[in-house]
Chain A
Amino acid sequence: KQEVTQIPAALSVPEGENLVLNCSFTDSAIYNLQWFRQDPGKGLTSLLLIQSSQREQTSGRLNASLDKSSGRSTLYIAASQPGDSATYLCAVPNTGNQFYFGTGTSLTVIP
């Protein structure tokens, strides 16, 4: 079974700081990896999808990297803003197309 771990569990940074969120997974035989954002009491919003053949994917101030061989992905957020405060989750599908999620990193950006 795929195990997904996210470190740190919580992070608090001042506005404007660049930050990195980490996601690790135990089974490197993945098709893709997806990063999500979740606001309290809401559903998940897709941020970035990285295919297994890609090493990086960018969207605005967000950059996600994927290293399949080491079982790691990072989400880089540049010039953080208070509106970035949320929980960030990563998810990987197994060969049966069931997605496994980490427990997330709760980010607080202080104005």
Chain B
Amino acid sequence: DTGVSQDPRHKITKRGQNVTFRCDPISEHNRLYWYRQTLGQGPEFLTYFQNEAQLEKSRLLSDRFSAERPKGSFSTLEIQRTEQGDSAMYLCASSLVWEFAGELFFGEGSRLTVL
């Protein structure tokens, strides 16, 4: 298994455009997380999925953000009408959870720059 993969690694867009990021978790992992990280800060939670169900969303996640995980496999995070404040690293992580939180494994991240 090659671990968690994210695509694209870098995205530069103009304000107002829509962008979509994809995350492929470790194949047997049932839980998938999205985090956002800005320079000098720790990752901030955005949302997570248990299989295909989106169980929790951060209040930081405005209506312009939407995430899906069809069939409990890969996930997409879409940002509509991007703003300069959306510029950040978007990190995906997956884990195998039976009862409690399992070990998190992260991808390399997708860096978004909004001009």
Contacts and interface: CB of A to CB of B under 8 A. Distances in A.
Do most interface residues of chain A lie in helix, strand or loop, or is the interface mixed?
strand
B108 A98 contact: no
A104 to B, nearest CB: 6
A97 B55 CA distance: 10
B48 A43 contact: no
B40 interface: yes
Interface residues of A, number: 24
B85 interface: no
B69 interface: no
Interface in B99-115: 100-101, 103-109, 111
A108 to B, nearest CB: 15
B109 A4 contact: no
A91 B107 contact: no
Interface of A: 4, 31-32, 34, 36, 41-46, 49, 89, 91, 93, 96-104
